[in-house]
Structure 1
Amino acid sequence: MKNKHWKTIGAVLTAVSLITAGCSESASGTNEETLPVVKTWKVASTQAGVIASGKIAASEEIQVVSKVSGKAATVNVNEGSVVKQGDVLVTLEASDYQQQIAQAQAAIAGAQAKLRDTKAGARNEQLQQLASTVEQAKASLKVAESTYNRMKALFDSGALSQAELEKTSLDLEKARTGLEQAQAQYNLAKAGPTSDTVAALQAEVSRLNSSLELAKSSYDNTIVRAPISGIVAKRNIDPGEMAAAGSPLLVLVKMDEVKVEASVPQEQINNVKVGSTVDVKVDSLGGKVLQGTVEFVSPISDANSSSFPIKVKMPNKDGLLRAGMVAEVMLQGQAEQGTKVPTAALQQKDNKQYIYKVDNDVVHQVEVTVSNTSGDWATVTAGVNENDQVVLNPTDKLAEGTKVIAN
């Protein structure tokens, strides 16, 4: 009887326990369902006023090449050497080019001598010699005529064949032609050269002079000089190595002035004008803010984005700025440190501004310092850190310690 009684009590207690547990689970599920759902935004640390991030580049970067091929005889600079415009950087072996100069000079000398002789005309000795040749030709013609007349008489009498007469006739014709040629040479020498003859010889002298200038230019090109004043950033040649025409031997950079190459979003590109002054922040200089001048604003966007390239020139007399350093470009007067957050994350109470951070689904109310508000963004100088999750459009239901479901 006792055992039966205790069994009944145990069953009742078990049932009550199950009912209680079920009620507890139901209540817990109801609490989770009623937690407010908030939309959050992750803070990213930025520089207030930044319109573009880019890199510093040399104001000028020149690849020094040789116009001619040849073996490097000397290389007078190393990487890091400071050079002035016109300094000799590299010399190539030049013996072949020197021989070309000598050959061209010799050819010019011969052509000029021939031109002088032609202009001077024939000398008296030459004229006398040619006149003597004419007299000899006349005498030969007389002999040929006399012989022919005698042979013709024999032919007419039947004592000479037709073939022998024709041979004598041919000799007579040769004598006449010889006299004509001798007379023509004498007349030409006596009259002097024609203008066309002189012009042709002068043209030949000019052509050879051009060849000489080309040979000298090739020789001069074996001496490679600095096209600008700057610093040797790279050296690709050593003495004894072959230098190919057009191949870079050295790279020179001009660093007393540098430029920042950056890309500006399309929403802000119209705020940037050529000639305007901007602030430039360089993190590697401890966040120092410098001033630069916009020298180029591209009329077309980058091929793979909607951003527009710009170039900002900056003085670099002390040499602290180096090519490749990251720089941030800001409109003049906006170089203040801060973090951008959406204005929708701010809530004002009692003349103070707050944001609500979410940490492990718990809200924490934090007072912030706002230095500037523009459109949908505000610049916060204190109160938020990078990677903070802040609530957007907070309501009065939120308070310190409120549990939420972050979305």
Structure 2
Amino acid sequence: MTSRLTIAVVAAALALPAAAESFDCVMDPAVIVSVGSPVSGLIDSVDISRGQRVRREQIIATLDADMEDAAIELYVLQAESAQEIALYQVRLDLATSHRERVAKLVERGVATAEQMDEARASFDVAQQELELAQLRQRVLGLELARARTAREQRVIRSPIDGIVVERTMFRGEFVDPDSHVAIIAQLDPLHVEAFLPVELYPEVRTGMTATVRPNAPIGGTYEAEVVVVDQVFDPASATFGVRLSLANPDAVLPAGHRCEVDFGAP
């Protein structure tokens, strides 16, 4: 009887799932960007502050752009003016009519072949002048596009949705391509970094889910997906790195906070 009871207890114990093991982790921003300017110049305005949420393509700062604005105004006047093309078009029309009249006179024997050659030459010159005027108009259009591109470079925009971690420059300061105006962190998603013992390497795969529990005072339980499994081990600690992606659409969870990750029963 005792033997049967012992076997039943052992069988029930084997049927129970093994307890899940938790590992320390850290919740980091997905991306941290130092936002600068591709051109040098004086800062005209900075429209952000520390802790502010910004959206992708939102203007965060502008540089002085008086010269660029003047260049755009000049190119607009030149590119939108059709007077030169209209002038050469009139000349071409006159040369065309003159050539046709001379051709009729040649047929009647009134005009000479030399006069016909001169009429043709005048027509060719007028046609080439019109084509050159049209080419200059296209070049002016390209110059206008380049001036507008240069003007846009004086506007600094956020490359990501995120939180302003640091504002480093203010109005009146000089910025160049080697400096930055602000540091912005993307908090959705968060990257959960953990190191696991190498014994678990065969069990962990990208795409699997795990449970993340932020330490106090945040708390709560969240599901995250494994996106990176390091294939190079750390021989000193006999561990390998794992990165999980944790959705954080409202930026409820802070970055830089410690947590525990549970991969379920082995």
If the length of structure 1 is used for normalisation, what is the TM-score? 0.48
Is 1:54 aligned to residue 9 of structure 2? no
Matches within 5 A, 1:226-245: 226-245=158-177
- Report the CA distance between 1:238 and its aligned residue: 0.5
Cross-structure match for 2:243: 311
Deviations 1:286-316 (A, max 9, x none): 7755432212223444698764332112234
Are 2:20 and 2:265, in contact at CA under 8 Å, matched by a contact in 1?
Answer: no
CA distance in 1, matches of 2:250, 2:136: 58
Distance of aligned partners of 1:104 and 1:265 in 2 relative to their CA distance in 1, 3 Å threshold: farther
Q: Which residue of 2 aligns with 1:331?
A: 263
* Sequence identity (%): 22
- Confirm or deny that 1:248 pairs with 2:183: no
Task: Specify the alignment match of 1:93 in structure 2.
Answer: 64
Q: Does 1:297 align with 2:250?
A: no
**Deviation at 1:90?**
0.8
Q: Name the TM-score, length of structure 2 as normaliser.
A: 0.70
Q: Relative to 1, partners in 2 of residues 1:212 and 1:252: Cα closer, same or farther, differing over 3 Å?
A: same
Question: Are residues 1:193 and 2:163 paired?
Answer: no
Q: Pick from 147, 151, 157 the counterpart of residue 225 of structure 1.
A: 157
Aligned partners of 1:83 and 1:62: how far apart in 2? Answer: 13
Separation in 2, partners of 1:122, 1:279: 79
Question: 1:72 offset after TM fit, Å?
Answer: 1.0
In 2, Cα distance between the equivalents of 1:305 and 1:200? 74
Is residue 121 from structure 1 mapped to residue 91 from structure 2 by the alignment? yes
Q: CA deviation at 1:71?
A: 1.0
Cα distance in 2 for residues equivalent to 1:303 and 1:64: 37
Change (3 A) 1:224 1:203: same
Does residue 251 of structure 2 align to residue 281 of structure 1?
no
Q: Is the 8 A contact 1:121 1:192 kept in 2?
A: no
Q: How many residues align?
A: 232
Once residues 329 and 186 of structure 1 are traced to their aligned partners in structure 2, the CA distance between those partners, rounded to angstroms, is 89
**1:66 aligned partner, one-letter code:** S
C-alpha change, 1:214 and 1:191, in structure 2 (3 Å) is closer
Residue 277 of structure 1: how far off its partner (Å): 1.4
> For residues 255 and 100 of structure 1, do their structure 2 counterparts lie closer, same or farther at Cα, with a shift above 3 Å needed?
same
Is the 2:163–2:185 contact (alpha carbons within 8 Å) kept by the matching residues of 1? Answer: yes
Deviation, 1:186, is 5.5
Assess, with a 3 A threshold, how the Cα gap between structure 1 residues 189 and 261 changes in structure 2: closer, same or farther.
Answer: same
Aligned twin of 2:37 = 66
Q: Is the 8 A contact 1:279 1:291 kept in 2?
A: yes
Please, what is the CA RMSD of the aligned residues?
A: 3.5
Q: Is the 8 A contact 1:57 1:323 kept in 2?
A: yes
Q: For structure 2, list consecutive stretches of 5 or more residues without a partner in the other structure.
A: 1-18, 99-113
For the residues of structure 1 that align with 2:152 and 2:191, how far apart are their CA atoms? 34
Name the residue aligned to 1:215: 147
The structure 2 residue matched to 1:258, chosen from 190, 210, 215, is 190
Which one scores higher on RCO, CA 8 angstroms, separation ≥ 6? 2
**Matching residue's letter, 2:126:** P
Task: Give the Cα separation in 2 of the matches to 1:123 and 1:222.
Answer: 46
How far apart, in 1, do the equivalents of 2:173 and 2:234 lie? 41
